[in-house]
A and B are shown apart, each in its own frame.
Chain A
Amino acid sequence: MSNINELNEPEVFVVADNILSPLGKTTAENFAKLRENISGVKEHTDLTISALPFFASLFEKGETFVKADEHNYTKFEQLLIASIADALNGSGVDVRDKKTVLIISSTKGNISLLEDEAITDELKERISLSNSAKLVAEHFGFQNQPIVVSNACISGVLGVITATRLLRSHQYENAVVAGADVISKFIMSGFQSFQALSVGPCKPFDKEHDGLNLGEGAGTIILSTNHKYAQNIKVKGGSISNDANHISGPSRTGQELAGAIKNALQEANFTSANIDFISAHGTATVYNDEMEANAITISGLQKVTLNSLKGFYGHTLGAAGLIESIISIQSLKQALVISTIGFTESADPEKVNVCATLTRLKANNFLKTASGFGGCNAAVIFGK
């Protein structure tokens, strides 16, 4: 792979970000909660979502996120709008500029609408991700057609990588990357049918890990090649791979995620020694955690401090890669790596160095990984 500097490609800077989750409405509010080890995952009893009680990180029922909404935006669209609005606030990025593009990441968007009525042309349009993206773009006045990424649980990271590539190849100067998913019966029942859910709060990389929790949330990262942001954190490299093994179970070896990590390092012009900490996917399913631990060991990163934030947020699906990257960007800025809540004793102590408590760590770069159904893997590196 070519060194990006040889090609005279611009660097991509993080301008601003937002996390909108049950823990808070801004990145700062969210980071403060995580520092205090406060999780959004609770036991819920909600028959509209599940016949049995379940653990998840959910917004209050009926909570709205956009004031004076004349457009009847759905919860999914409201989350995107509120998250993007906060990230844009004071960022100096002009969404009405032709040089700015909007990228939306989601796995299921408005799918909950399918639960209440039979499918008609009108409902089909209302569920379509392109339609939601268009409504959000119009709300802010974006000039370009938005790009929609829907690639299972790597959607958020893939959104960042897609944006980075568009910016590096001078297609745009600024990209607003926003992801969200809403948990309803459709998604809950599916994960239940897979027996992928934990009976309690999830335990990423722990000996006792027994499944994941689902979570709701939105995240937005604004990226730019404009040099006025040159002092900011940068996207250093990113890569995607496929396991070519199984559509609903990860690779046995972790070789393919390791391949994505290798390519991301190469694009950043880094070796594994440049990675100061890892924000893992860490869903707390045995399959995911084992595969990821293998990939991290293959990559020579087994000694590097690693966390999973799924114990705080649950698995927020299309938003996960964004939310977890944003927290980790804060970790770079504040030299403070968040703990892996739910973790006590390692399932694989030789393969991963799980961060069990809030850790002071002067870091320059971190690696964010993600994997999902369909055998997809993603790796992205952010750094100073």
Chain B
Amino acid sequence: MLTEKNITGFCSIHNGTITKDGVNIFEQQSDLSGLLLAAYQHLQLTYPKFYKMDNLSKLGWLAAEFLLKDTFNKDAYQPEETGVILANANSSLDDDVKYWDSIKDVASPSLFVYTLPNIVIGEICIRNHFKGEQAFYIQPDFDAQFIAQQVNYLLDKNIMQACICGWVDVFEQDYKAVLFLVEKKKTDKSAIFSAERMDEIFNKD
């Protein structure tokens, strides 16, 4: 009953560089906030919610935008058929510190809401109208084996038809996002979905 699953796209944001399917598409050497803003402007979108997000959500949301832009056919799936499975090492610590600093004055609900790592999943789901399975795991390092196992389960059992999975991590100026789009279809650029393939892409830069 194992279904064929393919990585039909991947996107990474790391070291001031955004790559999609292995090709550099945007570069800017600045601090993280500057990079995130410039990348957002590069997309030429009007999405005011972006400005309210913390850096973790901005990073994951942007990675998903670049991952899905032009190549993902949203109409191929029902909202309930796409899942998002993410992990990181620092949870929401970047925003936790900022929230805790804010409470010396007046506790900020808009900072507090981002003190949960899974909010980035919520932001990606709102933007793309994904209503399927979702989970956020904390791992010392990207555990491709575990993520692959989770995604395989969802796709093999037809619980989901497509999944975005990967790593979105931010603490201060350390950041890395690598997202994979996993679908059951093949494309001319797709590769068979496996932990090894994810690791290979993840460790490229």
Contacts and interface: CB of A to CB of B under 8 A. Distances in A.
Contacts, number: 158
Given A150-B117, A241-B133, A376 B122 contact: yes
B137 to A, nearest CB: 6
Contacts of A38: none
Interface in A29-53: none
A149 interface: yes
A150 B91 contact: yes
Given A149-B136, A171-B149, A373 B159 contact: no
Interface in A148-194: 148-152, 158, 162, 165-166, 169, 171, 185-186, 189-190, 192-194
B139 A374 contact: no
B14 interface: no
B158 interface: yes
Given A193-B112, A263-B159, A376-B134, A152 B118 contact: yes
B172 to A, nearest CB: 9
Given A158-B135, A241-B132, A166 B122 contact: no
Contacts of B91: 109, 128-129, 150
B126 A129 contact: no
A29 to B, nearest CB: 31
B97 A114 contact: yes
A256 interface: yes
Interface residues on B, range: 35 or more
B89 A130 contact: yes
Contact of A190 (B112, B137, B159, B171): B112
B125 interface: yes
Contact of A247 (B103, B126, B150, B158): B126
Interface string A225-265: 00000000000000111111111100000001001000100
A375 interface: yes
A151 B153 CA distance: 19
Contact of B100 (A150, A158, A186, A247): A186
Given A2-B1, A130-B89, A189-B103, A7 B157 contact: yes
Contacts of A162: 135, 150
A51 to B, nearest CB: 11
B84 interface: yes
16 contacts: A107-B116, A114-B96, A130-B139, A145-B140, A145-B143, A148-B139, A150-B137, A162-B150, A171-B149, A186-B99, A192-B107, A193-B108, A239-B133, A241-B134, A242-B122, A373-B122
